[in-house]
């Protein structure tokens, strides 16, 4: 049984229908900042309206799902993955329809978010339309990059084609239950679970690459990775979003990566490494799952401690970190990379004295013929916009407000 119903929660609309209206003449209302406006004008685009596409699905009965998860063991739950992907695609399709209704040719800063309402989940896509300053110029595209990021990427030679995503839903709660059997296990890596989590997390990357191939792209840049709960206890989604692009300078790089390079470098970093003659090759993930061998779990190990080093945890986390980084190193070496940049590390307490250590970064290689169109970036491309609206009601009143989660 699926986690979501396949029908929109709004029964007044027929399945598959979308209520679009031509936007009236008048002032443009946009999500673009002043800095984004400057950057976009520099590459020949003017602002359009802020656009939205959404789809609201009803949360289904989850009892059947929980029963079916007993064999998942931390792996993918394909039924949930496919339903979430369907919702994301539907909201993006409606966003694209609204883009056409507005007479715009492109959109920047496109998102794909999940917003949980009582008994429902909303798939939400938001972005700002843009059009060529000179009619007839410019390609049609949608991009996950905001106006500043888009400037950096275009100037580094990456022409945007389309917003793309890859996702995977997987079980954590089931793994926690099964890991109870590891209580008597000696400390060290649990190889079977390391392999499962490595495979599962790389599915999202494989899917965003496959979607880029369907767009005739040779790169996916500006990838942002998010892990979030999906409304079922013990189930999470890992989603990667980015911009499928084409860069004619990448023929040597793509020969090492089966036709598509992937990168989670920021747009400014991408510009800088291109200026230095480096091409990104692949977004790399390394995961290791380690057991403490403690019956009560990690928290239980602290109960009788007063102060001082917890040596067993020091050794465990050190070993997990080293194993994850070794997997990153081995993957980079396999594709002939010179370096792995921007490595970020995360630790997750899976339960029963078991942790997952995740390392993620972008492998790069120095190559001939790479360069940027400008000698340097303008300040407007790197200045971070400041928040001018601050909402502290959630922390002030201790309530859980619904906020979009990318």
Residue 392 lies in a domain: no
Residue 20 lies in a domain: no
Q: Are 170 and 236 in contact (CB under 8 A)?
A: yes
Residue 402 lies in a domain: no
Which helix (H) or strand (E) segment holds residue 45: the answer is: strand 45-59
Which of 207, 239, 206, 237 minimizes the C-alpha distance to 3?
A: 237
Q: 53 has which bridge partners?
A: 125
Q: Are 85 and 64 in contact (CB under 8 A)?
A: no
Number of domains in the chain: 1
Of the candidate ranges 53-57, 162-166, 206-210, 353-357, the one whose mean pLDDT is the lowest: 353-357
Which helix (H) or strand (E) segment holds residue 7: the answer is: strand 4-8
Which helix (H) or strand (E) segment holds residue 340: the answer is: strand 339-351
Q: Are 162 and 244 in contact (CB under 8 A)?
A: yes
Which is higher by pLDDT, 307 or 58? 58
- Alpha-carbon distances of 38 from 15, 79, 380, rounded to whole Å: 41, 44, 7
Length in residues, the chain = 406
Rounded mean pLDDT, 335-357: 88
Residue 161 lies in a domain: yes
Alpha-carbon gap, residue 306 to 301, rounded angstroms: 11
In eight-state DSSP terms, residue 50 is E
Q: Are 173 and 235 in contact (CB under 8 A)?
A: yes
In eight-state DSSP terms, residue 180 is G
The two beta strands, 235-246 and 159-171, are: antiparallel
Rounded mean pLDDT, 278-300: 78
Alpha-carbon gap, residue 119 to 60, rounded angstroms: 8
Alpha-carbon gap, residue 281 to 260, rounded angstroms: 8
Q: What is the pLDDT of residue 305?
A: 54
* pLDDT tens digits, one per residue of 86-103: 999 999 999 999 999 999
In eight-state DSSP terms, residue 403 is -
Which helix (H) or strand (E) segment holds residue 268: the answer is: helix 267-275
Highest mean pLDDT among 68-77, 134-143, 268-277: 268-277
- Give the distance from CA 49 to its chain's centroid: 25
For residue 392, pLDDT over 80 is answered with no
Rounded mean pLDDT, 226-236: 81
Q: What is the pLDDT of residue 142?
A: 98
Q: Among the residues of 277-348, which ranges form H helices?
A: 297-300, 311-334
Alpha-carbon gap, residue 263 to 219, rounded angstroms: 8
Residue 251 lies in a domain: yes
Which is higher by pLDDT, 72 or 171? 171
Rounded mean pLDDT, 266-295: 90
Rounded mean pLDDT, 50-54: 97
Of the candidate ranges 37-41, 105-109, 181-185, the one whose mean pLDDT is the lowest: 181-185
Domain that holds residue 276: 29-132+139-372
Which is higher by pLDDT, 220 or 318? 220
In eight-state DSSP terms, residue 374 is S
User: What CA dihedral angle connects 298, 299, 301 and 304, to 10 degrees?
Assistant: 170
- Find tokens 């880029």 and name the residue: 212
Residue 77 lies in a domain: yes
* pLDDT tens digits, one per residue of 255-268: 999 999 999 999 99
Rounded mean pLDDT, 388-398: 67
Highest mean pLDDT among 54-68, 155-169, 392-406: 155-169
Work out the pLDDT band at 13, boundaries 50, 70, 90: very low
- What is the gyration radius of the CA atoms in the chain, in angstroms? 23
Which of 324, 226, 239, 242 minimizes the C-alpha distance to 282?
A: 242
Q: What is the pLDDT of residue 229?
A: 86
Which is higher by pLDDT, 309 or 384? 384
Residue 174 lies in a domain: yes
Rounded mean pLDDT, 367-388: 94
In eight-state DSSP terms, residue 198 is H
Alpha-carbon gap, residue 181 to 176, rounded angstroms: 10
For residue 40, pLDDT over 80 is answered with yes
Highest mean pLDDT among 292-296, 333-337, 399-403: 333-337
- Give the distance from CA 26 to its chain's centroid: 35
Q: What is the pLDDT of residue 15?
A: 42
Residue 203 lies in a domain: yes
Neighbours of 349 (CB within 10 A): 13
Alpha-carbon gap, residue 133 to 137, rounded angstroms: 8
Work out the pLDDT band at 235, boundaries 50, 70, 90: confident
Helix (H, G, I), strand (E, B) or coil at 141: strand
Q: Which residues contact 344 (CB under 8 A, 6 or more apart)?
A: 359, 360, 361
**Percent share of the chain, pLDDT over 70:** 78
Rounded mean pLDDT, 342-356: 84
Mean pLDDT of the residues in the chain: 83
Q: What is the pLDDT of residue 333?
A: 97
Q: What is the pLDDT of residue 394?
A: 59
């Amino acid at each position: 049984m699926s986690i979501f119903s396949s029908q929109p929660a709004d029964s007044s609309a027929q399945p598959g229908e979308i209520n679009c209206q031509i936007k009236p003449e008048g002032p443009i209302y946009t999500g673009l900042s002043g800095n984004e406006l400057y950057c976009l004008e520099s590459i020949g685009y003017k602002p359009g309206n802020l656009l939205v596409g959404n789809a609201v699905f009803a949360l289904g009965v989850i009892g059947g799902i929980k029963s079916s998860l007993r064999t998942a063991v931390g792996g993918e739950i394909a039924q949930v993955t496919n339903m979430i992907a369907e919702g994301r695609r539907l909201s993006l399709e409606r966003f694209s329809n609204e883009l056409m209704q507005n007479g715009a040719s492109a959109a920047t800063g496109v998102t794909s978010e999940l917003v949980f309402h009582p008994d429902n989940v909303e798939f939400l896509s938001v972005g700002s339309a843009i059009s060529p300053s000179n009619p007839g110029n410019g390609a049609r595209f949608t991009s996950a990059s905001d106006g500043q990021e888009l400037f950096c990427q275009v100037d580094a030679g990456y022409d945007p084609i389309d917003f793309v995503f890859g996702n995977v839903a997987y079980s954590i709660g089931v793994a926690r239950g099964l890991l109870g059997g590891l209580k008597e296990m000696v400390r060290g890596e649990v190889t079977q679970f390391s392999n499962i989590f490595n495979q599962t997390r790389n599915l999202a990357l494989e899917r965003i690459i496959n979607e880029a191939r369907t767009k005739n792209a040779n790169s996916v840049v500006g990838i942002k990775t998010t892990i979030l709960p999906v409304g079922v206890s013990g189930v999470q989604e890992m989603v990667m979003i980015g911009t499928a692009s084409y860069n004619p300078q990448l023929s040597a790089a793509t020969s090492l990566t089966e036709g598509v390079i992937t990168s989670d470098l920021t747009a400014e970093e991408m510009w800088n490494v291109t200026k230095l003659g480096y091409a990104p090759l692949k977004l790399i993930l390394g995961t290791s799952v380690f057991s403490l061998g403690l019956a009560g779990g990690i928290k239980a190990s602290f109960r009788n401690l007063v102060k001082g080093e917890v040596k067993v945890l020091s050794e465990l986390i050190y070993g997990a970190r080293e194993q994850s980084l070794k997997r990153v190193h081995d993957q980079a070496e396999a594709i002939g990379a010179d370096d792995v940049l921007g490595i970020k590390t995360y630790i997750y307490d899976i339960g029963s004295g078991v942790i997952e250590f995740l390392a993620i970064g972008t492998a790069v290689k120095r190559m001939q013929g790479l360069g940027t169109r400008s000698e340097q970036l303008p300040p407007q491309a790197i200045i971070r916009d400041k928040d001018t609206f601050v909402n502290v009601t959630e922390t002030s009143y201790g309530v859980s407000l619904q906020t979009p989660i990318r």
